Structure 1
Amino acid sequence: MTSESITTEYSSKPVILLVDDNEEILDFLQDDLEEKYTILKASNGKEALEILNSDLVNLVISDIMMPVMDGYELCRTIKSDFEYSHVLVILLTAKNTIQAKIEGLELGADAYVDKPFSPEYLQAQIANLLSNRNKIIDYFISSPLVHIKSMAINKGDESFLEKLNDSIYKNIENTELDVKQLAETLNMSRPTLYRKIKAISNLTPNELIHIARLKKGAELLAKGNYKIYEISEMVGYSSQTNFGRNFHKQFGMSPSVYVQKLNDKN
């Protein structure tokens, strides 16, 4: 069991998929965004879905009016498909009407930007969406009793995260629990499970298992029914020392200090 604290890392550039049938707009957006983001491009919704099937994308910026598959259909498909329902979507359109905006938001779009738009405004929208996602992830990682489903941005992801959490907890005493066993339990392929966990949490499955063990330990500590050494074994640690070291690295306090803080609140 590692003794390293798990934190999210945002050193690699977030991946943005640009979707528009106008090559000039694609090139303009790419020139404006590629310093901060890794850019992928598609000329319609169908091409965009093919890219989403092969690449881990953080955010899609799509025009609405396109041939083959328009932006509305692309957004609907993204937000209703388990494989990439976590992907953030910004819709761009010249249809500057309230009804057009309502339709896009009802399909699950995370933001709506009118054409012509200010590059600075679009940059701010992108940064805000990604920053909010990262804050949610960091809050989950650093807070002992915050549930994994707090990272979900829609009902589908919430259901997936609850099932994932249940699967980890059912096997939490198993010190060898890994992504292969989790995938079998959830009836998913390992690549699909890995991609989904990484996309939602920016963690690998093994890192998420590590945090889940510590969070279960915090939950048991809060109940006050077991000794620390008992809890260590119950959550898959070979020793109380190892559990205590990992707990302190992850949450900034030892299990005993954590219990004392809980008692002081009551």
Structure 2
Amino acid sequence: MSESILVVDDNQEILEFLTEVLGDTYKVHAAESGETALQIMDNEVIHLIVLDVMMPGIDGFELCQLVKSNVNYCHIPIILLTSKNGHRAHIEGLEVGADAYIKKPFSPKFLQIQIANLLNNRLKIKTHFASSPFEDVRVMAHSKTDEAFLKTLDDYIRKNIEDTQLDIETLAQHMNMSRPTFYRKIKSLSALSPKELVDITRLKKAASLIAENEYSLSEISRMVGYSSQSLFSRNFQKYFNASPQEYFNALPR
């Protein structure tokens, strides 16, 4: 159960029902209000939100808009649940950034399929990014806000790529985030830890340098911030399924 689902509904019976329906597949966090949901998001890695529209205080539309407009959370897909009928309510849900919209009453199986589809589609993109030497980090963005976030982060990592001590504290500070918030953002957005994201960025740069055929593998290892060539080779093999030398030999001439 690697994915965490946040279920938000002011009806305790519905919360218990959804927790039971989803609990065998996902780690479920339950919130009876928008305010509680925001507190949970501040402390947990959340991969998807199932959100009721009709709630006192911060309602579902408002919470959806808050999530989608906040750089800390905007990558999280949201499924809105509503008893409202008509196209107007559906349009309003899409306008505030919802990824899916389900009318009550609904089939539990239908909800499970919607969740699985959203998560699987994003996982495919994350896997493709991690295993493709030349795929841009922005392929994982699902909004303009995330695209700008990833571009800024990637530019900073590449600018400091020779720094063997580049760490999560430095990156979080550059992105104006606390360390925990930055970690949750990267983990949920990419399925990678910040350290793994830095490693992959180093290796993508290495793949580009190998293709240029102007430097030795030991030089490239140092140029992308590896103090150990053996670690560089192991990580390259891990992500790209080929050693640096095998990768070079397979390049078209």
Q: Settle same-fold status: TM greater than 0.5.
A: yes
| 1:238 aligns to 2:227 (yes or no) | yes
Matched with 2:57 is 68
Greater Cα offset, 52-61 or 255-264: 255-264
The 2-side partners of 1:24 and 1:241 are apart by: 56
Work out the percentage of aligned pairs sharing the same amino acid. 53
In 1: Cα distance, 2:112 partner to 2:208 partner: 40
The whole-number CA distance in structure 1 between the counterparts of 2:29 and 2:175 is 31
Q: Is the counterpart of residue 229 in structure 1 residue 198 in structure 2?
A: no
Indicate the residue corresponding to 1:112 in structure 2: 101
Aligned match of 1:133: 122
Answer yes or no: is 1:164 the counterpart of 2:132: no
**Separation (CA, whole Å) in 2 of partners of 1:175 and 1:41:** 41
SS of aligned partner of 2:183: helix
Q: Which blocks of at least 5 consecutive residues in structure 1 are unaligned?
A: 1-11
Distance 1:151 1:46, change over 3 A: same
Deviates more, 1:190-199 or 1:209-218: 190-199
Give the whole-Å Cα distance in 2 for the aligned partners of 1:105 and 1:64: 12
What is the TM-score normalised by the length of structure 2?
A: 0.93
Q: CA deviation at 1:239?
A: 4.7
1:46 equivalent in alignment to 2:35? yes
The alignment of Structure 1 onto Structure 2 pairs a total of residues equal to 253
Distance 1:187 1:44, change over 3 A: closer
Residue 174 of structure 1 corresponds to which residue in structure 2? 163
Once residues 20 and 234 of structure 2 are traced to their aligned partners in structure 1, the CA distance between those partners, rounded to angstroms, is: 47
CA distance in 1, matches of 2:125, 2:9: 30
Matched, 1:253 2:252: no
Any conservation in 2 of the 1:16–1:60 contact (CA below 8 Å)?
Answer: yes
Q: 1:244 to 1:55 in 2, by over 3 A?
A: closer
Residue type matched to 1:138 in 2?
A: T
3-state DSSP of counterpart to 1:263? coil
Cα deviations by residue, 1:211-242 (Å, 9 ceiling, x for unpaired): 11111101222333433232222101235444
Partners of 2:104 and 2:220 in 1: how far apart? 57
Give 2:187's aligned amino acid. K
Amino acid at match of 1:98: H
Say which of 85, 96, 99 aligns to 2:85: 96
Please report the RMSD computed on the Cα atoms of aligned residues, expressed in angstroms.
1.7
CA distance in 1, matches of 2:40, 2:172: 24
Give the partner amino acid of 2:198: I
Q: Structure 2 CA distance, aligned partners of 1:169 and 1:24?
A: 50
Distance in 2 between residues matched to 1:223 and 1:97, nearest whole Å: 57
Q: Cα gap change, 1:249/1:17 in structure 2, threshold over 3 Å: closer, same or farther?
A: closer
Deviations 1:78-135 (A, max 9, x none): 0001111111100011112122111111211111111110110000001111111111
Q: Indicate yes or no: 2:36 matched with 1:55.
A: no
> Is the CA contact 1:167–1:186 (under 8 Å) kept in the aligned structure 2?
no
Code of the aligned partner of 2:210: L
Amino acid at match of 1:82: V
Counterpart of 2:232, as a letter, is F
SS at match of 2:145: helix
Query: Aligned with 1:176: secondary structure?
Result: coil
